Amino acid sequence: MASLLRNTNPLVSPLLTDKYQFTMAYAYWKGKRHQDHATFDLFYRRNPFKGSFAQFAGLDEILRFMSSFKITNDDLDFLKKDMSQCDPGYFKWLKNLDCSEVTIHAHKEGNIVFPKEPLVRVDGPLGILQLLETPFLNLTNYATLMTTNARRMRIAAGQDKTLLEFGCRRAQGPDGALSASRYSYIGGFDASSHVLAGKMFGIPIKGTHAHSWVSSMKDTSEINVRNLTYFKNGQKKEIDFVDFVLENQKKLGWTATNKGELAAFIDYALAFPTYFLGLVDTYDTLSSGIPNFLIVAYSLYQLGYLPIGVRLDSGKLSTLSRKTRKMFQDFAKKTSTPHFAKLKIVASNDINEGVLYDLKKEGSEIDIYGIGTHLVTCQAQPALGAVFKLVEINDEPRIKLSNSFGKITVPGKKNSYRLFGKNGQAITDVMTLFDEQPPQAHKQYTCCDFFDSHKKISVIPSKVEPLLQKVWDHKLIHKLPHVKEIKEFGDSQAQKFDPKLFQRKDPISYPVTLSSKLYEKMHQLWDEALAPQIFD
């Protein structure tokens, strides 16, 4: 899983790879082919989650990996023992190896992407490129899958809801937890509960308390610090907040609630009077949790503080949220406090994409979702399946054939463009040969289906957007963007497409096509490789 500890993590090493990368690199070196000029494409074959799109991520980590690429003496000692049959000159070559002869073109991180098209194109000496395969795939496979999962949940929840990533404790180890926090944020989530992710990436972090906080107290006698500071008419004052709350409890008539829960809410409010949000389902949500919260929240309000809301973590969330909202509205009317009608309702408890759609359909009153397990583990699909394939060597295109049409590669060094229609929405992505004339805005252009020359799309694009931008030219050539910039770019991309592309049920497909010249080249190589015999 993608590492996010930057250059300080020993996992972000050239040894973060499969052994066959080093055995192939040795064979290239031994055969004096390691300096042959090659081009590899990184792409995926099928859209994840039975959808019609993915959202590309992981480029930042690729570029950081490239910047720190160095096979250390310690690495070499290990490799020499493991590959003792190899010529010692190979290890001397490895010792001096870096990425100074490599060029990378890639989609902008956060872009909406589709199967078959190159997300990353890598050019350079064959030996070093072979060693980059596994690290590149490790750094993009989970990142893109996770970002796509988050984006789908953002679409399901709607733009008016707040989404919080709660998955640190359920992620696959500390590295997976960091990756999940970063890429859920890029994919449309607003914040995370993960403190280290907040420190490392500048992601907003949120959190209040757990059930253990509520169940830790029996009654108000266990509250050690009772006074609360507040301001009245510009003057700083103090009040025994415990007594103040208990007086309000009598006035409001809610005296049959759980005493320990009320004490826990009071104690938490004393610690966080400006950010009071209560977890209300430790005992009974409607008969104890909500009343106890309102008693404390109302007391804070009378002293000039604005309470935030409640969190629901069990039960039928849709029903409970509507009943909670009704209690808030009734309380606001009874006490002439309009703020209380709009208190926030947070929901957690095993939420996934389908649950988000159901809650919306059922008219829930939830404002904020905390999502953990189903988000960070990508339970609906555990892997993206991106691949890194050789497509050209020494200016000669290469093709990989297969009994499965989906595994046939598109040969040659390529460019990729996004074509837009008159309404401003993208209508197709087209791949072209590297050296051919690109599509032009306001000029007719014909695109071909991968396998059927009779299936063509003829368009007059209103705009043509190059998709592969140079990001590494023997070294890093641009300052890496902050994660917030990547997120903002990612958040803006869905509006470029037909909304039906993003719907959960029966999404429309988006065509990825070939230029006529690329189609001809592909099928020429296919014929030369005796492809018709494969499919007899």
**397 vs 19: CA distance, rounded Å:** 26
Domain of residue 313, CATH code: 3.20.20.70
Final residue belonging to a domain, choices 357, 376, 395: 376
Does residue 508 form part of some domain?
Answer: yes
Structure-block tokens of residue 194: 């993960």
**Tens of each residue's pLDDT in the chain, 536 residues:** 334 434 434 457 999 999 999 999 999 999 999 999 999 999 999 999 999 999 999 999 999 999 999 999 999 999 999 999 999 999 999 999 999 999 999 999 999 999 999 999 999 999 999 999 999 999 999 999 999 999 999 999 999 999 999 999 999 999 999 999 999 999 999 999 999 999 999 999 999 999 999 999 999 999 999 999 999 999 999 999 999 999 999 999 998 999 999 999 999 999 999 999 999 999 999 999 999 999 999 999 999 999 999 999 999 999 999 999 999 999 999 999 999 999 999 999 999 999 999 999 999 999 999 999 999 999 999 999 999 999 999 999 999 887 777 788 999 999 999 999 999 999 999 999 999 999 999 999 999 988 776 788 899 999 999 999 999 999 999 899 999 999 999 999 999 999 999 999 999 999 999 999 999 999 888 888 764 454 43
Does residue 536 form part of some domain?
Answer: no
Does residue 524 form part of some domain?
Answer: yes
Do residue 370 and residue 387 come from a single domain?
A: no
* 434-457: burial string, b at 16+ Cβ within 10 Å, e else: beeeebeeeeebebbebeeeeeee
Do residue 45 and residue 183 come from a single domain?
A: no
Pairing of strands 426-433, 512-515: parallel
Which pLDDT does position 457 carry in this prediction?
Answer: 87
Of 470, 511, 483, nearest in space to 104 by CA = 470
Domain count, the chain: 2
Do residue 346 and residue 431 come from a single domain?
A: no
Does residue 405 form part of some domain?
Answer: yes
What one-character-per-residue DSSP string does 465-480 give? EE--EEEEESSB-SPP
**263 vs 409: CA distance, rounded Å:** 65
Of 151, 152, 150, 155, nearest in space to 166 by CA = 150
Which pLDDT does position 1 carry in this prediction?
Answer: 38
* 363-395: burial string, b at 16+ Cβ within 10 Å, e else: ebbbbbbbbbebbbbbebbeebebbbbbbbbee
Do residue 61 and residue 178 come from a single domain?
A: no
Which pLDDT does position 530 carry in this prediction?
Answer: 62
**290 vs 433: CA distance, rounded Å:** 64
Backbone φ and ψ of 99, nearest 5°: -105, 25
Do residue 315 and residue 216 come from a single domain?
A: yes
Which pLDDT does position 406 carry in this prediction?
Answer: 76
Which pLDDT does position 535 carry in this prediction?
Answer: 44
pLDDT digits (tens, 9 = 90+) for 72-85: 999 999 999 999 99
Do residue 298 and residue 221 come from a single domain?
A: yes
Do residue 121 and residue 75 come from a single domain?
A: yes
Which pLDDT does position 534 carry in this prediction?
Answer: 45
Does residue 253 form part of some domain?
Answer: yes
Do residue 312 and residue 267 come from a single domain?
A: yes
Final residue belonging to a domain, choices 376, 392, 422: 376
Do residue 205 and residue 240 come from a single domain?
A: yes
Please, which contacts does 441-448 make with residues 24 or more away whose CB atoms are closer than 8 Å? 445/419, 446/516, 447/419, 447/511, 447/513, 447/514, 447/515, 448/513, 448/514, 448/515, 448/516, 448/518, 448/519
Do residue 60 and residue 176 come from a single domain?
A: no
Which pLDDT does position 3 carry in this prediction?
Answer: 40
Q: State the chain's maximal CA–CA distance in angstroms.
A: 90
Threshold 0.85, pTM exceeds: yes
Do residue 305 and residue 217 come from a single domain?
A: yes
Specify burial of residue 84 (Cβ count, 10 A radius: 0-12, 13-18, 19+): exposed
**507 vs 151: CA distance, rounded Å:** 15
- Residues of the domain holding 258: 158-376
Does residue 60 form part of some domain?
Answer: yes
Do residue 171 and residue 313 come from a single domain?
A: yes
Q: Are 5 and 201 in contact (CB under 8 A)?
A: no
Which pLDDT does position 523 carry in this prediction?
Answer: 87
Does residue 409 form part of some domain?
Answer: yes
Of 250, 337, 256, nearest in space to 297 by CA = 337
| Adjacent-strand bridge partners of 38 | 124, 393
Structure-block tokens of residue 471: 């990001």
Final residue belonging to a domain, choices 312, 341, 376: 376
Contacts of 467 by beta carbon, 8 Å cutoff, 6+ apart: 107, 111, 117, 416, 417, 418, 429
Does residue 492 form part of some domain?
Answer: yes
Which pLDDT does position 6 carry in this prediction?
Answer: 44
Geometric angle at alpha carbon 151, from 422 and 323, rounded to 5°: 115
* Residue 118 half-sphere exposure toward CB, CA atoms < 13 A: 34
Domain of residue 17, CATH code: 3.20.140.10
Which pLDDT does position 7 carry in this prediction?
Answer: 44
